[in-house]
Amino acid sequence: MKVLYLDCFSGISGDMFLAALIDLGVPLSVFEEVIAQLDIPVEIKGTAAYKKGIRATRAILTEQTRQPGERSYHQLLEIVTRSSLPPQISTKVEGALLRLAQAEGAAHGVEVEKVHFHELGGLDTLVDLAGAFTGVSYLGIEQVYASPIPLARGTIMTQHGLLPLPTPATLNLLKGAPTYGVSIEGELVTPTGAVLITTLAGSFGPPPAARWEKIGYGAGTKELPHPNVLRLWLGESLDHKKARETPELAFDQDQVLVLETQVDDVNPEFLPYLRMQLEEEGAIDVAFIPTLMKKGRPGIIVTILSPPDRLSSLARILFRESTAIGLRWYQAGRIKLFRTSVEVETPFGSIPVKLGFAVRPDGSREHLNLAPEYEACARRAQETGRSIKEVYRAALKAADNLDLPKE
């Protein structure tokens, strides 16, 4: 099994990662193809660089036509969605781009829709993300490991003014990852570098047991007291566990907030109203779970799944409509099936059926779940005087006979 180790003794950025991939042997033409698939007017070059006696590669991105000073998250997302990137790459780019926008939005107190990217109008971010995921795929890497991440101090001038290092967005993206401080002033980890390492790396720590075949060095732009390079180790794992027999599937991914509290003195009659109020305010899901609390009193665990920008408004409703006086919240990642809907014809009329699927490496779909729409089945059952079970079974049978799309 091919493994990659990210040796981040001098931090990580998007351009350092691309440069290290080029140094490992990913042809420049691979990244030129990524740019062509994105259909954006930029050019990439790889040049030799020397950092404190270490030969490395630099990746330089330049605009071919003058670009606007900034692009919004949705403008960049539109470029990705209309691109010809393979589905397994575009899915990862969309997920990473959303995480970047959420981290920036949380850092500066704005909604995701108002987040803007600046360098080359944000196009460099797209190339860094799509190029990194494509390069890892090109090398046939099945598992990525990473070292703990060094964090320096100081300040940096940004479009928002003078910010402390690490930048607030970078720290948001590194939540949960192992880091350590170094006595250097300067930006060692960029937001793009942070989102790449936390997306790709399955674990952090020392190098795994492997037979290392090649080392790649990606140079940063700054001159530091030590060699400012990202070092990638490429090798064959010595873990002889049976390799996966099925190709890796791509799933839809996003980030949510989980809000939780426990109450033992709420009137149960109020819970449906609480759920309604939370859902109207944007809650993705609400669950009430019976539990035993202190002194053996029966209580309820209230769990709310929230979009990243609804924390305060949902907390206000929870406090207003229940007896809770506090809550816990944390960020969580979600992996979901991609979803679509089709209409099927049954003896009781047409019924929409939800389809859930993953994307194979070749871009085809693997359908893993389907379910008729409950409301439509209930309506047809009432109209025809038949049981909902009979209508539901008919919809399932019709869906089983569909020639489902492969792409």
Domain boundaries, the chain: 2-237, 252-336, 338-400
Whether 245 has a pLDDT exceeding 50, the answer reads: no
Confidence of residue 315 (pLDDT cuts 50, 70, 90): very high
Whether 407 has a pLDDT exceeding 60, the answer reads: no
Closest CA to 164 of 144, 181, 135, 185: 185
Q: pLDDT tens for residues 31-87?
A: 999 999 999 999 999 999 999 999 999 999 998 888 777 888 889 999 999 999 998
Percent of the chain residues topping a pLDDT of 70: 94
Where does 338-400 sit in CATH, by number? 3.10.20
Q: pLDDT tens for residues 97-110?
A: 989 999 888 888 88
Whether 205 has a pLDDT exceeding 70, the answer reads: yes
Q: Report helix angle 388-400 to 374-384, nearest 10.
A: 120
- Cβ neighbours of 389 (radius 10 Å): 10
Single-letter residue type at 36: A
DSSP 39: T
Closest CA to 126 of 80, 170, 195: 80
- Residue 190 and residue 325: Cα distance in Å, rounded? 38
User: Which residue(s) pair with 358 in the sheet?
Assistant: 366
Q: pLDDT tens for residues 221-239?
A: 999 999 999 999 999 998 7
Whether 155 has a pLDDT exceeding 50, the answer reads: yes
Query: What six digits make up the tokens of 337?
Result: 């099936």
Please state the φ and ψ torsions of residue 204, each to the nearest 5 degrees.
Answer: -120, 145
On whether the CB atoms of residues 155 and 146 are closer than 8 A, the answer is: no
Domain 252-336 is found in CATH 3.40.50.300: no
Q: Report helix angle 311-321 to 271-280, nearest 10.
A: 160
Whether 328 has a pLDDT exceeding 90, the answer reads: yes
Whether 118 has a pLDDT exceeding 80, the answer reads: no
On whether the CB atoms of residues 245 and 233 are closer than 8 A, the answer is: no
Confidence at residue 120, expressed as pLDDT on a 0 to 100 scale: 59
Average pLDDT on 287-312 reads 92
- Residue 139 and residue 133: Cα distance in Å, rounded? 10
Strands 179-185, 149-153: pairing is: parallel
Average pLDDT on 305-319 reads 91
Q: pLDDT tens for residues 341-387?
A: 889 999 999 999 999 888 876 667 888 999 999 999 999 999 999 99
